[in-house]
Structure 1
């Protein structure tokens, strides 16, 4: 098996663990509620990954479509849910007709997009008049991590955030939606708290990214990661993520 395949498998396992946590389940359910759509309405889940949300939307009576840029993720999604509709595509060029869907959902996607405004233009194109949009995402520059060295932790969080194309996209959801001409814009703030040792790879990955960016030394990375491993194995790990959920409607026009 190649290194890339190993990395993809590790990512999918981490996402599966995170998505199964009670807080994540509740947050997805809230995003579905905010779509406020009738049974049978067509909904696209952009950046669908392994397809969990597509399946859950279908269970709620929606005609759900999953779109992802990754061929590997689409393959996993199709294997797990062979009866669902999964399509390869990106947020800037969705494989959908104008006004084809009544709902648009994107979770943890916009921080990966250098041009969020362009993605929202595409969202407006595929949404029918009065269609609903829901965006869910974390603010990468505001991670809260307990550690023995708060100053080093701040440096690691900020350095890792700077490697993300759009790390503060979630805090900009409201203004981005308003600028794109959406109406009835509302934003909710949630906090995801993670103490499960299964999330340790996320923390060590943050430190690795900061070291690779030249923000910290290898010795600092090792010391910080060892502290987090000790906390995880002793049941003392603490990671909190500020999460924002924005909802809006496409105008009639």
Structure 2
């Protein structure tokens, strides 16, 4: 989402996170964390703090964007959110019981370093949940399918790790986590506010030279007509992986 400024991104996230699919997916992440109120959990890439607020006491949000953190504090007074990097969390070893990262790992410079840090701060038996979209598998209804394919792939190519979500299971296994599970959820967006994200896609493809200005204009006009008539459709596959930090074996104690 690098083609949106922070204010526009916040509005786009509000639209995306308010849908019934998004609410259901967040609930699945909390269940996968085995979370109960008061349980120490870190939400990495917390954005405007919605999940931190919903997780309640014991939850700490981490983000590198101070504007996002200011918005989180304004929206949910009293929540604990801090500016920090995913690869350098402000927690002691084995000090948290849950680690959640929602739509974060695709923009990290070093996902392996972030996972190593996750394992460091998680207590034995602690739970990790990773959620993310596959940028190369986005579905957008359009009267211009060939242009749409080029837009989707060109936008994906601007992301640091556009397909990392499909690798979550293997990454967790590679880092020694146990009880690894993977489910795929479908996020369906039909609200007019999604046009902000679609505009970002078209701008990225135009800048990359994947489409012409005329194709961008025609494609965005088609999306505008769909928004006006209730025909907008954006579908994003969301991968949810969960695992447990192993407890030390009796032989290693």
TM-score of the superposition, structure 1-length normalised? Answer: 0.94
Asked if 1:181 corresponds to 2:176, the answer is: yes
Determine the structure 2 residue equivalent to 1:204. 199
Paired residue secondary structure (1:83): coil
Asked if 1:79 corresponds to 2:77, the answer is: no
Cα distance in 1, alignment partners of residues 37 and 214 from structure 2: 55
Q: Which moved more, 1:78-87 or 1:170-179?
A: 78-87
Paired residue secondary structure (2:101): strand
Q: Of the candidates 148, 156, 172, which is equivalent to residue 151 of structure 2?
A: 156
Asked if 1:126 corresponds to 2:124, the answer is: no
Determine the structure 2 residue equivalent to 1:19. 17
Determine the structure 2 residue equivalent to 1:53. 51
C-alpha contact 2:41 2:98 (8 A) present in aligned 1: yes
Any stretches of 5+ residues in structure 1 without a counterpart? 1-5
Cα distance in 2, alignment partners of residues 39 and 12 from structure 1: 27
Paired residue secondary structure (1:90): coil
Determine the structure 2 residue equivalent to 1:3. none
How many angstroms does 1:8 deviate by?
Answer: 2.0
Paired residue secondary structure (2:97): strand
Any stretches of 5+ residues in structure 2 without a counterpart? 249-253
Written as runs of structure 1 = structure 2, the 5 A alignment for 1:1-253 is 7-58=5-56, 62-253=57-248
How many angstroms does 1:205 deviate by?
Answer: 1.0
Cα distance in 2, alignment partners of residues 29 and 123 from structure 1: 21
Cα distance in 2, alignment partners of residues 149 and 37 from structure 1: 44
Cα distance in 2, alignment partners of residues 11 and 226 from structure 1: 21
Paired residue secondary structure (1:82): coil
How many angstroms does 1:138 deviate by?
Answer: 0.6
Cα distance in 2, alignment partners of residues 64 and 172 from structure 1: 27
CA RMSD of aligned residues (A): 1.2
C-alpha contact 2:38 2:59 (8 A) present in aligned 1: no
Q: Write out per-residue CA displacement over residues 122-149 of structure 1, whole angstroms, 9 at most, x where no aligned residue.
A: 1001100110000111100000011112
Q: Write out per-residue CA displacement over residues 169-204 of structure 1, whole angstroms, 9 at most, x where no aligned residue.
A: 110000010001111000011101111111111111
Cα distance in 1, alignment partners of residues 158 and 85 from structure 2: 20
Paired residue secondary structure (2:48): coil
Q: Write out per-residue CA displacement over residues 19-65 of structure 1, whole angstroms, 9 at most, x where no aligned residue.
A: 1111100100110001113442100000000000000000xxx4100
Cα distance in 2, alignment partners of residues 39 and 192 from structure 1: 27
- After TM superposition, the runs of 4+ consecutive aligned structure 1 residues lying more than 4 A away are none
Change (3 A) 1:38 1:81: closer
Cα distance in 1, alignment partners of residues 231 and 184 from structure 2: 25
Paired residue secondary structure (1:31): helix
How many equivalent residue pairs? 245
C-alpha contact 2:37 2:55 (8 A) present in aligned 1: no
